[in-house]
Amino acid sequence: MSLEFEGERSEEFNSRLSLYYDELKGLYTELYGDNKACFDEFIAMLNEYYCERNDDLREWDEAKIINPDWYAGNDILGMMMYVNCFADNLKGLMKHLDYIEACGVNYLHLMPLLKSPRGRSDGGYAVSDFRAVQPGLGKMKELFNLAKMCHDKGISLCLDFVMNHTSEEHEWAKRARAGEKEFQDKYFFYDNWDIPNQFEQTMPQVFPTTAPGNFTYLEDINKIVMTTFYPYQWDLNYANPKVFCDMTANMLYLCNQGIDIIRLDAVPYIWKALNTNCRNLPEVHKLVRIMRIACSIVCPGVLLLGEVVMEPSKVTPYFGSVEYPECHMLYNVTTMASTWHTVAVKDTRLLRSQLDKVFNLPKEYVFLNYLRCHDDIGWGLDYDYLRQFGFDEADHKKFLNDYFRGLVFNSDSRGELYNDDERLRDARLCGTTASLCGLEVNNKEALNLDITLHAFLLTQSGIPVIYSGDEIGQLNNYAYHDNLNPEISEDSRYLHRGNFDWKAAAKRGKNRLFTAIMHLTKIRAEHEVFCNKADTWTIDTNNNNILGIGRYYKDAKLIALFNFSREEQVIYLDANQLDFSENYINLFNQAYRNRKYKFTRSDLEQGIKLEPCGFVWLLAEK
């Protein structure tokens, strides 16, 4: 290693750097050539942010180093929220941390809150300053104080890092627009359409309806700039080493404010090359690996969460390998969409097929599992698998969207379309979990379904994440239509981005859904069989309405059964699936004495009854 630093704590930095130096230099050279000056600048930047990390965060790092798998346990429960919807601003959020703690949440994901232009921000994903909080939400000092308060309560804080692009209002973009070549080189600027048209031949459009094309003509300067997402979001050119150095510095700055999980937004898109689709290119993985190394050196307690909203074959490579890991965690996108498909068709075969693939992955892979998030639900299902059962892709997408809007017989769901394209018939769906389950219309069956879906969420390995408001059954926010801001009133995703219902939260003790979810999360935290290291498998229930999952860890065995139909089902499991020499306890129903909570051999031989949209968690007695 040719670079060494002197000064306070330099020994620890040099020691960490030495572990990765050769690999780091090799990856950097593959991306940027033998550019010693830029590489030395990158390493010096790492040292700068290492030295700036305060003692409390260093202690936090040490605790995580001692327990590197801390995020893979059965006691982790996540919640995601918009600060303004939950509590107006950061100060309000700090006042309500006790509620979050009372929910058992120890992983808190705050949706984009960095400075962005009003009316042209895509919900905060067009950042104009990576080192400032949106003025209406507070200041960076308040985010720092919030992180400290969270750490004192054992809560890890997650924040989006929008790395593919900046807002057109970012200082770099303004200086690029003013004609400064150094800053134009941070983006993709062109004098004519020759190269942009070449890109367009192989580069898919992200929003063909609302933001067609991948480039925007800037009439005021007679230039063309790459804008993959929206015209006001200018793509950064990561082939420029200065861009990568500066953006990594921005990320580490946020880490030093106490952010524990960095969500790498739209990470598959960050490297562009002609004659490709500009997604998931090999260079992306090299960049992510370097970012993982940077965190390991500067802030080893920080985790990287990759936002890769694609099919499983494209998702899992972002874990890297055991020897050269990339992201610590990834989203389990396909299971989420397959779950709602199952709700609509009452047939679990696709969901079981999807889970078989996930369960066969290495246990080192940690997924974030969720029922709903801030975004829409896209129907990117495995249609090759579904075709054997007679499903046509376009017709099925229409059916799903009709079902969850309550347009199909016997559907109580209520949602709205997002990005409806009548020509492509490829609209996506919006709505809260409660409204999609039917709580606006049918209380009993919808409530059972909502509880069962959360039980299914908590049965999966990984980190379960609840979208704020789902725990109290918050319904759709139809008032968004009346908002005077067109960015909100014309975006149906605000259907499920309503303000948190504090009146309902105050009555949560009498809310059966809240009580059930809290009881489920408590059970999960008490039993190691739910941890990420457990063996998992799906069970052939001989009934397409019923999904069966098995879990085994340290001599503890759990059998979970989920009924997706609206009718009572009786399931008979044979001795290969259930050991009849054991008694089983229905963990969840122990709290409800009016139902059977212990199953003997005789009970099992007579079959297990599942109420409509109901479930059981059966734990073998030792």
Q: What is the mean pLDDT of residues 589-593?
A: 48
pLDDT digits (tens, 9 = 90+) for 433-458: 999 999 999 778 899 999 999 999 99
Q: Which CATH class is domain 165-235?
A: alpha beta
Measured between alpha carbons, how far is 235 from 232 in angstroms, rounded to an integer?
10
In this structure, are residues 436 and 413 in contact, taking their beta carbons and an 8 Å threshold?
A: yes
For the CA atoms of 85, 407, 613, 593, the dihedral, rounded to the nearest 10 degrees, stands at: 60
109: β partners: 80, 158
pLDDT tier at 122, thresholds 50, 70, 90 = confident
CATH 3.90.400.10 maps onto the chain at: 165-235
Q: Token pair 């004659």 is at which residue?
A: 275
**The token pair that represents 65 in the structure block:** 């180093």
Residue-level pLDDT at 593: 40
In this structure, are residues 428 and 491 in contact, taking their beta carbons and an 8 Å threshold?
A: no
Q: Token pair 């690996």 is at which residue?
A: 289
In this structure, are residues 180 and 141 in contact, taking their beta carbons and an 8 Å threshold?
A: no
Helix axes 282-298, 241-255, angle to 10 degrees: 40
pTM of the model: 0.94
pLDDT tier at 607, thresholds 50, 70, 90 = confident
Three-state SS annotation for 346-412: CCCHHHHHHHHHHHCCCCCCEEEEECCCCCCECCCCCHHHHHHHCCCHHHHHHHHHHHCCCCCCCCC
pLDDT tier at 591, thresholds 50, 70, 90 = very low
pLDDT digits (tens, 9 = 90+) for 2-15: 566 666 678 899 99
Catalytic residues: 265, 307
For the CA atoms of 430, 433, 436, 439, the dihedral, rounded to the nearest 10 degrees, stands at: -140
Residues with Cβ within 8 Å of residue 113, at least 6 apart in sequence: 83, 90, 124, 133, 134, 137, 143, 159
Residue-level pLDDT at 596: 52
Radius of gyration in angstroms for the set of CA atoms belonging to the chain, rounded to a whole number:
25
Average pLDDT, the chain: 93
pLDDT digits (tens, 9 = 90+) for 593-603: 434 567 777 77
Residue-level pLDDT at 597: 66
CATH 3.30.420.40 is held by the domain 529-620: no
The helix/strand/coil state of 54 is coil
CATH 2.60.40.1180 maps onto the chain at: 529-620
Q: What is the mean pLDDT of residues 304-330?
A: 91
From the CB of residue 593, how many other CB atoms can be counted at a distance below 10 Å? 8
Q: Token pair 């890991």 is at which residue?
A: 325
pLDDT tier at 89, thresholds 50, 70, 90 = very high
pLDDT digits (tens, 9 = 90+) for 26-72: 999 999 999 999 999 999 999 999 999 999 999 999 999 999 999 99
Nearest to 271 by CA among 207, 199, 333: 199
Largest Cα–Cα distance in the chain? 81
